[in-house]
A = this chain, B = another copy of it.
Amino acid sequence: MKRIYLFLAMAGMLQTGFGQSKDKDINIPDLDNYKTLKCDFHIHTVFSDGLVWPTVRVDEAYSEGLDAIALTEHIEYRPHKDDIKADHNRSYEIIKQYAKDRDVILIKGSEITRSMAPGHHNAIFITDSNPLDTTDFKDAFNAAKSQKAFIFWNHPGWDAQQPEKTLWWDEHTYLYENGCMHGIEVANGKYYFPEAQQWCLDKKLTMIGTSDIHQPIQTDIDFNKGEHRTMTLVFAKERNAESIREALENRRTAVFVGDKIIGEEMWLKDLFDNAVKIENIEKKDKSVRITIYNDSDLRFYLKKIKHDPGITYFRDYEIKPNCRHTINVKLDSGIISGKIDFEVSNMLAKPGKGLDYQFRF
């Protein structure tokens, strides 16, 4: 009888309490017409080659203020299988309710894990992972497709599979042409793949960024230094799984990796518009002071581009998070209005090319 009492105690009955906070949340503004959801669609647990129990992934997501996650265990690579006996759906099942209780949207997924080509691909929004366990890679993709999966190519520039350069193989053409590739990881962990960004622009594929986390998250990400996991910003109509799907299908995403935000120009512009607001413009004879406020946790690096030669201002400028900035502009005689032109060099609209923007006065 004592022993039963013990187990109740363990299960929380007599545990005196517990707490949880969103202490690592990052404030990224919504767009004009869409909510900005912070999503990570590439995560591992002990059920494949990850190193934590599935619930830890929900706790981490909660603490970081993520809106949605997908556990994507490798189908073909399960190094702990001698000890962990479970089918491919199990880690999802374990946290289904746990995620719901913490209001973290959980999307079912799996990682099709093949040598190159075609390499590794995540299928998300699936309903059953087990049919993806096949001999031929094409069968695995077809099984995912038949479940209406959203499929993206993982870490296309991973040097273990692409040791010299980031190549597009025939197998990728096959997948693309057969409706089995809807997006590509433009960033995975700390790595950004410019070739993948260009492919997404050219082929109308969705840009994805993921942590691909295997370790406890704090082992890889030093939050105290202001680091964050690589994630996909999904610009969704509502905060739910269906809206995330709709946004992914319509390529309304950006990738947040390190201090860079990578995406299609229209979304980057919309995001900057909503992060940085002009608060005041103070005109004097031959000068103007523009006061802006960055009401976000994002940092922006500005770089002067081609501009009216009668208007003199910074060459480089850093807009800090949650910070009010005053920018001084010198005007040649006779100029009373105009604009300062710059590139937001850490918002990459194309490989090597920042977002063009201007402040008008």
With A and B bound together, what is the CA distance between A321 and B22 in angstroms? Answer: 10
Whether A159 contacts B19 in the complex (CB less than 8 A), given A56-B216, A76-B6, A225-B225, comes out as no
At the interface, yes or no: A335 with Cβ under 8 Å from chain B? no
> Residue of B at shortest CB range from A323?
B21
Chain B residues with CB below 8 A from A18, complex form? 325-326
Q: Is B216 a contact of A312 with CB atoms below 8 Å? A: no
Stretch binding the partner chain, chosen from A27-35, A47-55, A180-188: A47-55
Q: Give the contacts of A31-78 with B (CB-CB under 8 A).
A: 46-47, 49-53, 55-56, 59, 76-77
At the interface, yes or no: A218 with Cβ under 8 Å from chain B? yes
Whether A13 contacts B324 in the complex (CB less than 8 A), given A59-B219, A315-B159, comes out as no
Minimum Cβ distance to chain B for residue A9 (Å): 5
Minimum Cβ distance to chain B for residue A158 (Å): 9
Q: Among B3, B90, B321, point to the contact of A115 (Cβ < 8 A).
A: B3
Q: Give the contacts of A228-273 with B (CB-CB under 8 A).
A: none
At the interface, yes or no: A157 with Cβ under 8 Å from chain B? yes
Q: How many identical subunits does the complex contain?
A: 4
Chain B residues with CB below 8 A from A76, complex form? 3, 6
Chain B residues with CB below 8 A from A323, complex form? 19-21, 23
Given contact pairs A9-B161, A14-B330, A16-B159, enumerate 20 new A-B contacts (beta carbons under 8 Å).
Answer: A7-B77, A10-B49, A14-B160, A16-B160, A19-B326, A21-B321, A21-B323, A21-B324, A51-B52, A51-B53, A53-B80, A59-B219, A83-B84, A84-B84, A157-B315, A159-B316, A162-B315, A163-B313, A165-B315, A216-B219
User: Which A positions have Cβ atoms within 8 angstroms of B?
Assistant: 2-3, 5-7, 9-10, 12-23, 46-47, 49-53, 55-56, 59, 76-77, 79-80, 83-86, 90, 94, 113-115, 157, 159-165, 191, 215-219, 222, 224-226, 287, 312-317, 319-328, 330
